[in-house]
């Protein structure tokens, strides 16, 4: 459980810094930046103390969910081995469209706070002071953690349709779920940018998936762009984690809303993602293009002969 001294008053703020505050709950303290939403409609249904208590007490359930998920997908693969693939076109279109709309709305609502902080707070404040636990952004952070459970359904569609299931796909879903729930227990400050990036990338990614599943022929360069965006957010995540680590270890007198344990998990996940997504991009769009080009040339040569 993180604990912090009293935050500086507005009189102590340096130029380019926002007003900070400390939120205290029975299960811990959270340093956050004050931001007033233009239309804080989410606060009418948001229960910050209840949700914080639930995550700090039961976050470990994510391991059970992950275990059931992995067992289910491999069990389904075995069950589908001698069966014909399900088409599931319309359920898949509806599912991808739903996630695309959800991610787009979330990008707008959560992004209001994230972009304001990016433009008006100091760089250190943006990665060391969290979102307001009682504000609208906290509800979207909560929905982000919950959405990682919903997104496991993506894999079910892949298995039932007998599409190739690569290690990167299910590994990505499993570890993001675990990290998101662990980060939710302390409302990790740098999560402001992680969540915003992920929502934005997913709004594009699921729109692309919806179009493809509907039957639109989307240019291959669009698929490559989606993978580049996914890889870019992983690399940015590594850089942000390095910056937080520097602050925590080189300047321990400065408060920073992220535990060493959470930072270690973050490093491990983002580094593995950066390697895996880069390898996937190379195999799919660089080495794959070379192979297709060689095949086309060989076919053309045989046709001439």
Residue-wise over 288-304: b if at least 16 C-beta within 10 A, else e?
eeeeeeeeeeeeeeeee
DSSP characters over the chain: -----PPPPGGGPPTT---EEEEEETTEEEEEE----SS-GGGGT--HHHHHHHHHHHTTHHHHHHHHHHHHHHHHHHHHTTSPPP--HHHHHHHHHHHHHHHHHHHHHHHHHHHHHHHHS-HHHHHHSB--TTSHHHHHHHHHHHHHHHTTHHHHHHHHTT----HHHHHHHHHHHHHHHHHHTTT-TTHHHHHHHHHHHHHHHHHHHHHHHHT----HHHHHHHHHHHHHHHHHHHHHHHHHHHHHHH-TTS--S--HHHHHHHHHHHHHHHHHHHHHHIIIIIIHHHHHHHHHHHHHHHHH-
Q: What are phi and psi of 272, to 5 degrees?
A: -65, -40
Residue 172 falls in the annotated catalytic set: yes
185, 257 in Cβ contact below 8 A? no
The strand pairing partners of 32, in sequence order, are 21, 130
Return all residues near 47 (Cβ < 8 A) that are at least 6 apart. none
Per the residue annotation, which of 52, 172, 173, 182 is the catalytic one?
Answer: 172
Among all residues, which ones are annotated catalytic?
A: 172
């Amino acid at each position: 459980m993180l604990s912090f001294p009293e935050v500086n008053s507005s009189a102590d703020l340096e130029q380019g810094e926002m007003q900070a505050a400390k939120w205290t709950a029975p299960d811990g303290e959270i340093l956050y930046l004050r931001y007033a939403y233009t239309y804080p409609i989410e606060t009418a249904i948001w229960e910050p103390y209840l949700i914080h208590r639930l995550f700090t007490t039961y976050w470990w359930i994510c391991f059970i969910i992950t275990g059931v998920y992995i067992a289910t997908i491999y069990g389904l693969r075995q069950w589908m081995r001698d069966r014909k693939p399900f088409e599931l076109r319309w359920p898949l279109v509806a599912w991808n469209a739903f996630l695309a709309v959800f991610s787009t709305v979330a990008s707008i609502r959560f992004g209001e706070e994230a972009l304001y902080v990016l433009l008006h707070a100091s760089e250190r404040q943006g990665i060391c002071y969290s979102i307001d636990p009682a504000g609208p952004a906290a509800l979207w952070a909560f929905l982000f953690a919950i959405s990682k459970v919903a997104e496991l359904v993506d894999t079910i569609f892949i298995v039932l349709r007998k599409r190739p299931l690569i290690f990167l796909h299910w590994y990505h879903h499993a570890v993001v779920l675990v990290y998101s729930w662990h980060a939710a227990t302390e409302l990790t400050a740098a999560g402001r940018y992680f969540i915003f990036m992920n929502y934005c990338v997913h709004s594009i990614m699921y729109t692309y998936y919806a179009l493809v599943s509907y039957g639109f022929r989307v240019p291959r360069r669009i698929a490559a762009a989606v993978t580049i965006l996914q890889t870019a957010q992983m690399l940015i995540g590594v850089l942000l984690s390095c910056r937080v680590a520097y602050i925590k270890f080189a300047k321990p007198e400065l408060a920073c809303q992220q535990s060493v344990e959470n930072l270690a998990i973050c490093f491990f996940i983002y580094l593995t993602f950066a390697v895996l997504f880069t390898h996937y991009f190379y195999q799919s769009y660089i080495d794959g293009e070379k192979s297709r080009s060689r095949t086309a040339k060989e076919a053309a040569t045989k046709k001439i002969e």
